[in-house]
């Protein structure tokens, strides 16, 4: 089916997640949902998401149960990883006003309200298959709030390449069962493998022990991960000469050590934060609602009057 | 309130947040609120010295002079901090009135942004509210008499005052008439000033047949009323340089006596003409206080 009523494409690229109906529930991996307390001195950037940023531990965004056969361990899911990349608001250079993203129809450049949107799949350039919400709901996997584990494997046999997002599992009035399950897999060095459905996607998941708790890490599907062999440059690599290899190996040996993630700092983030502190301390602040363009000539009049009054 | 650093390095010029700048205030003259605000900004150096410390009454026209106007004595809800307030217990209304004092540029701009086209000021200052520091003759014609007759009478009033050793000031009311004002030394009571003005009016009415000195005749056809009754506590006059709600956007314009020649029309003194001149006939009026 082609778009007989004209393209209903919206400029999805820059859409604001806040206004997206599907974003009413928190999105896994949403950077605006930190689980733990913010570190001292951290500047929290409020996100306009549906999930209020509380900055405190203890707010679950998903609760359900780990099920292994007939055994249920009720748990709550908490976000574990938060992206602390720095975000800036985009402003209009001339007047400092924050900019807003709108869904704009590509035909007449008019803003389209959410109520007038549908989902379309682009079959060919400019041609879309339109899906109604009912159609999409019918095929969406049912989220039954279960982490279904079907198998246990050695944790170290898992390929980290496939790791997606990790969530901390917290017992939901199930401390005894939780403790038992945690102790069992910790002792064996194993991890449970199964599936979890979040929002409209079913993910492979692995549940493993980490730092005194159970952690569920979603996994990517095989077709989501690029295989290096797809690249001809990599398929046709020549083997190095022995002498070169020996030299390279010596360098590797000399630089060998233990892995310590604490050695790494986000230096860009630190630089921005210190810049913010300097600006807050030393620079003039104005309200972020400066005079609009139309008031420009009033500003001119003001400058004149203020200088006249100062002379008086 | 969000705060941001000022990227362009421009100074914060006013604390007033402008609104509805494109709203038409004077439909016939095509004057928008932006132009009204611009007028008050530009006239501020001439207007503010007079307004300082003087309780005002706003005459607001949110929808322009085509819509309903209303007088407002009390500082409205949301009056910002930079506006000075004079709290006065009104005996007649039996309540406290929170008068606005237009003591700074931001207040004047704020008033303009409230569409207070007209700004009326009391004849006394807040610090000595019961004691007038201005004497006012409000001279208004009843048709068919017009502005020429008003000028004639104003000059007679001036002669009478000069005979008492006074040098009065004159301005258009912005409507049909003229205001004659004498700045006073401190200590007068409104009753004193009122009876002085009344006596002058009565004397002039004896000499000129079409001049009336009493309120009951003030609406008689073909008369000029010398109104002395404005000299009372809480009464106001259009402040010098206040806009008026007239089709031409007239201004209550301070004038030199020499400006007043027959043929001059009251509606000649408008927002545009006032800004076109840098004359300040009332300059220093409050340093020229006189005894009656």
Q: Which domains does chain A have, with CATH numbers?
A: 17-224 (2.40.290.10), 267-311 (no CATH)
Interface test with A, best of B1, B2, B5, B22 (most A CBs within 10 A): B5
> For residue A236, what pLDDT band results from cuts at 50, 70 and 90?
confident
Residues B40 and B180 in one domain: no
**A46 in reach of chain B (CB within 8 A):** no
Average pLDDT over residues A178-205: 91
How does residue A33 score in pLDDT terms, banded at 50, 70 and 90? very low
User: Residue A308, Cα to own-chain centre: how many angstroms?
Assistant: 55
- Specify if B8 maps to a domain: no
Task: Taking residues B34-40, report their average pLDDT.
Answer: 96
Domain assignment of residue B4, yes or no: no
Closest CA to A43 of A81, A87, A97, A78: A87
Using pLDDT thresholds of 50, 70 and 90, give the confidence band for residue A18. Answer: very low
Q: Is the CB of residue A135 less than 8 Å from the CB of residue A53? A: no
Do the Cβ atoms of B110 and B83 come closer than 8 Å? yes
Are B41 and A297 within 8 A, CB to CB?
no
- CA-based max dimension of chain B: 70
The owner of tokens 């807050």 is A280
Instruction: Name the band, by pLDDT with cuts 50, 70 and 90, for residue A283.
Output: low
Q: At what angle do helices B190-207 and B147-163 cross, to 10 degrees?
A: 120
Chain B positions in Cβ-Cβ contact with residue A304 (cut-off 8 Å): 42
Tell me: cis bond preceding B103? Omega within 30 of 0 counts: no
Q: How many contacts, defined by CB atoms under 8 Å, are there between A and B? A: 75
Are B17 and B112 in contact by the 8 Å Cβ rule? The answer is no
Is A275 in CB contact (< 8 Å) with chain B?
A: no
- The residue to which tokens 């606005």 are assigned: B100
Q: Look at A125 and A291; give whichever has higher pLDDT.
A: A125
Q: How confident is the model at residue B91 (pLDDT cuts 50, 70, 90)?
A: confident
Q: For residue A159, give the DSSP letter.
A: -
Burial group, residue A183, by CB count within 10 angstroms (0-12, 13-18, 19+): exposed
Evaluate if residue A200 carries a pLDDT over 80.
Answer: no
Residues of B in contact with A299 (CB under 8 A): 10, 13
Residue B211 · residue B153 · CB < 8 Å: yes
CATH number at residue B168: 3.30.70.3300
Q: Please give, rounded to a whole number of angstroms, the shortest distance from the CA of A287 to a CA of chain B.
A: 5
Q: What is the pLDDT of residues B213-267, one digit of tens each?
A: 988 888 888 999 999 999 998 899 999 999 999 999 999 999 999 999 988 999 9
> Would you call A305 and B5 a contact, using CB atoms and an 8 Å cutoff?
no
CA distance to partner chain B, nearest, from residue A282 (Å)? 10
Query: What are A197's strand-pairing partners?
Result: A202
Mean pLDDT of A209-227: 94
Whether the per-residue pLDDT at B126 is higher than 60: the answer is yes
Residue B69 lies in a domain: yes
The C-alpha of A118 sits at a distance from chain B's nearest C-alpha, in angstroms, of: 35
Residues B254, B256: Cα–Cα separation, whole Å:
7
Beta-ladder partners of A33: none
What are B121's strand-pairing partners?
A: B56, B237
With a cut of 80, say whether residue A145 has pLDDT above it. Answer: yes
8-state DSSP, A120: E
Nearest CA in chain B to A88: B4
Quick one: which of B288, B228, B279 has its CA closest to B256?
Answer: B279
Predicted confidence band at B95 (pLDDT cuts at 50, 70, 90)? confident
Q: Residue A291's pLDDT band (boundaries 50, 70, 90)?
A: low
Lowest-confidence region among A39-53, A146-160, B89-103: A39-53
User: Who contacts A183 (Cβ-Cβ below 8 Å, separation ≥6)?
Assistant: none
Shared domain for B203 and B282, answered yes or no, is yes
Residues of A in contact with B3 (CB under 8 A): 285-288
CATH code for the domain in which residue B81 is found: 3.90.920.10
* Res. A22: pLDDT tops 80: no
Give the residue from B72, B101, B128 where a domain finishes.
Answer: B128
**Which of A298, A304, A306 is opposite residue B18, by nearest beta carbon?**
A298
Label residue A74 exposed, middle or buried (CB < 10 Å: 0-12, 13-18, 19+): middle
> Six-digit token pair at A304?
């004149």
Residue B19 lies in a domain: no
* A276 inside 8 A of chain B by CB: no
Identify from A282, A284, A298 which residue to disrupt to test chain B contact, counting B C-beta atoms within 10 A and taking the largest count. A298
What tokens were used for B102? 């237009």
CA A195 to chain centroid, in Å, comes to 20
**B95, B128, B161 — which closes off a domain?**
B128
Please state the pTM of the whole predicted model: 0.53
Taking the CB of residue B245, how many other CB atoms lie within 10 A of it? 19
Which domain range does residue B270 map to? Answer: 134-287
Do both B204 and B242 map to the same domain?
A: yes
Residue A285 C-alpha, separation from nearest chain B C-alpha, in angstroms? 5
Residue A59's pLDDT band (cuts 50, 70, 90): low
Average pLDDT over residues A206-229: 94
Mean pLDDT on A53-74: 75
| Residue of B7, B10, B34 with shortest CB distance to A298 | B34
């Amino acid at each position: 089916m082609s778009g007989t009523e004209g393209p209903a494409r919206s400029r999805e690229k820059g859409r604001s997640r806040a206004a997206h109906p599907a974003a009413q529930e928190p999105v896994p991996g949403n950077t605006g949902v930190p689980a733990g307390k913010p570190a001292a001195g951290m500047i929290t950037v409020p996100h306009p998401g549906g999930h209020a940023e509380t900055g405190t531990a203890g707010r679950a965004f998903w609760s359900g149960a780990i099920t292994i056969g007939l055994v249920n361990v009720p748990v709550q899911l908490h976000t574990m990883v938060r992206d602390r990349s720095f975000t800036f608001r985009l402003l209009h250079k001339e007047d400092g006003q924050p900019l807003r993203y709108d869904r704009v129809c590509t035909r007449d450049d008019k803003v389209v309200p959410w109520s007038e949107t549908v989902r379309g799949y682009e079959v060919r350039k400019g041609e879309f298959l339109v899906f109604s919400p009912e159609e999409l709901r019918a095929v969406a996997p049912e989220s039954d709030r279960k982490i279904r584990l079907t198998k246990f494997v050695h944790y170290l046999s898992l390929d980290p390449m496939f790791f997606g997002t990790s969530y901390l599992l917290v017992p939901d009035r199930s401390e005894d069962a939780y403790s038992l399950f945690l102790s069992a897999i910790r002792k064996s060095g194993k991890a449970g493998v199964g599936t979890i459905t979040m929002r409209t996607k079913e993910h492979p998941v692995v549940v493993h022990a980490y730092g005194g708790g159970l952690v569920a890490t979603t996994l990517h599907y095989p077709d989501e991960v690029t295989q290096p062999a797809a690249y001809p440059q990599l398929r046709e690599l020549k083997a190095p000469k022995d002498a070169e290899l020996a030299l390279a190996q010596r360098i590797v040996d000399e630089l060998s050590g233990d892995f310590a993630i604490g050695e790494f700092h986000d230096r860009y983030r630190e630089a921005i934060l210190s810049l913010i502190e300097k600006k807050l301390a030393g620079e003039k602040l104005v309200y972020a609602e400066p005079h609009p363009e139309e008031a420009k000539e009033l500003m001119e009049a003001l400058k004149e009057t203020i200088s006249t009054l100062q002379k008086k | 309130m969000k705060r941001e650093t000022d990227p362009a390095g421009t100074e914060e010029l006013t604390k007033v947040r402008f609104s509805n700048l494109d709203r038409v205030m004077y439909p016939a003259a095509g004057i928008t609120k932006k132009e009204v605000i611009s007028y008050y900004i530009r006239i501020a150096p001439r207007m503010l010295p007079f307004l300082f410390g003087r309780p005002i009454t706003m005459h607001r026209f949110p929808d322009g002079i085509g819509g309903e106007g209303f007088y407002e004595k009390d500082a409205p809800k949301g009056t910002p901090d930079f506006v000075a307030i004079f709290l006065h217990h009104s005996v007649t209304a039996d309540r406290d009135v929170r008068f606005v004092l237009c003591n700074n540029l931001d207040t004047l701009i704020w008033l303009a942004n409230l569409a207070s086209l007209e700004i009326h000021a009391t004849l006394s200052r807040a610090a000595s509210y019961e004691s007038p520091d201005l004497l006012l003759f409000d001279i208004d014609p009843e048709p068919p008499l017009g502005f020429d007759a008003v000028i004639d009478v104003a000059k007679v009033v001036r002669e009478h005052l000069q005979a008492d050793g006074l040098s009065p000031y004159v301005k258009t009311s912005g409507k049909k008439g003229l205001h004659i004002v004498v700045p006073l030394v401190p200590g007068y009571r409104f009753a004193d000033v009122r009876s002085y003005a009344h006596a002058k009016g009565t004397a002039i009415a004896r000499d000129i047949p079409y001049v009336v000195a009493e309120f009951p005749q003030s609406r008689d056809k073909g008369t000029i009323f010398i109104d002395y009754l404005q000299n009372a506590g809480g009464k106001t006059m259009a402040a010098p340089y206040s806009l008026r709600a007239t089709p031409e956007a007239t201004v209550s314009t301070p004038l030199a006596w020499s400006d007043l020649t027959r043929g001059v029309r009251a509606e000649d003194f408008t927002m545009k003409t006032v800004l076109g001149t840098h004359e300040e006939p009332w300059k220093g009026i409050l340093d020229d206080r006189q005894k009656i």
